[in-house]
Amino acid sequence: MFRDVTFGQYYPKNSFVHNMDARIKLVLCLLFMVGIFFVQSYVGFALVTVFLMVVILASKVPLKSILKSVKGIVVLLILTAMLNIFFTKSGNVLVSWWIFTITDEGLIYASKMLLRLVYLVIGSSVLTLTTTPVDLTHAIERLLAPLKVIKFPVHDLALIMSLTLSFIPSLIDETDRIIRAQKARGADFDTGNLFQRAKAFVPILIPLLVGGFRRAEELANAMNSRCYEGATNRTQMRVMKLSWRDLVASLVCIIVFGGIIVVYAMKATWQPILPWMYF
């Protein structure tokens, strides 16, 4: 049930994307998340689809493992689609019943928003599947290093995010074990209405919370026993260095999403000439 969730899990492989600098991957992922909201047409979504397929092929991560991450947001996708379809009143009316009205523009806007959400999850999954939590910690700490001037706890923030990512797979495995144990005792999670199913998950949440606090306490004791003192006089065993892979990937991303942003900015000028670019 929960084993299909791949977010936060690292997929070891020797690939172009795996060997990139974690700082560059993090910055390019943020650029991708921002740039996806500037895509306004299905032509642009087709270009982003090709871009994502190239990145997935370069990462050597199975497409099935990446698509599993989309399962975790199915409820959010359905809710987003319903809100955009029923609350978009502009366009030609296709169906009208009681207080609900479905228009052609509502369907188009909902489909584009769904594509954005799916691509956001896929992009973030590629980042976490090809980057270890330790590398992500170092990348966040390096990128936020200028904030140390104002006494911002950069190292602590990076450590918290790294521990959060590292705990996700273990919590998923523990949740799956608890569910199978409860089913062996006769628990039913698949029948009944929404409230009955939610009530059935209470016996799962309590041991899961207890196990989470126990893991956190064990980790804190382990860090104290090793005299961990945060960022005070700490060095890194692995020094991050930029390579030709980072330069190539940066140029490709800048060209792709720079072009998308330019097309979006020139909408008023180009739409009368090339209307298909904005459909």
| 206 burial via Cβ count (<10 Å: 0-12, 13-18, 19+) | exposed
Least confident of 131-135, 174-178, 206-210, 232-236: 232-236
Q: What are the contacts of 166-171 at 24+ separation with CB within 8 A?
A: 166/8, 166/133, 167/212, 167/215, 168/5, 168/7, 168/8, 168/9, 169/8, 169/9, 170/215, 171/208, 171/212
Q: What is the mean pLDDT of residues 245-264?
A: 85
Q: How many residues are recorded in the chain?
A: 279
Amino acid at 57: L
End-to-end Cα, the chain, rounded Å: 38
Asked if the model's pLDDT at residue 12 lies above 80, the reply is yes
- Full-model pTM: 0.76
pLDDT of residue 261: 79
> What is the rounded CA–CA span in Å between residue 109 and residue 90?
11
- How confident is the prediction for the chain on average, in pLDDT? 80
> Residue 34 pLDDT more than 80?
yes
Confidence of residue 275 (pLDDT cuts 50, 70, 90): low
Cβ atoms 72, 5 nearer than 8 A: yes
Q: Which of 19-28, 97-106, 153-162, 262-271 has the highest mean pLDDT?
A: 19-28
Distance CA 39, CA 51 (A): 13
Tell me: the pLDDT tens digits for 171-209?
A: 777 888 888 887 787 777 667 666 777 777 777 888 888
Asked whether the predicted pLDDT for residue 279 surpasses 80, the reply is: no
Q: What's the pLDDT score for residue 142? A: 84
Give the DSSP letter of residue 271.
T
Mean pLDDT for 101-130 is 86
Residue with tokens 């871009």: 51
pLDDT tens across 42-67, in order? 888 888 899 999 999 999 988 888 88
CA distance 51 to 194: 39
Question: How far apart (Å, rounded) are the C-alpha atoms in residues 133 and 111?
Answer: 33
103 beta partners? 93
Q: Using CA atoms, how far apart are residues 203 and 178, in angstroms rounded to an integer?
A: 9
In the chain, where are the structural domains located? Answer: 12-131+242-279
Angstrom distances, CA of residue 253 to CA of 34, 172, 191, 241: 12, 33, 47, 20
pLDDT value at residue 274: 58
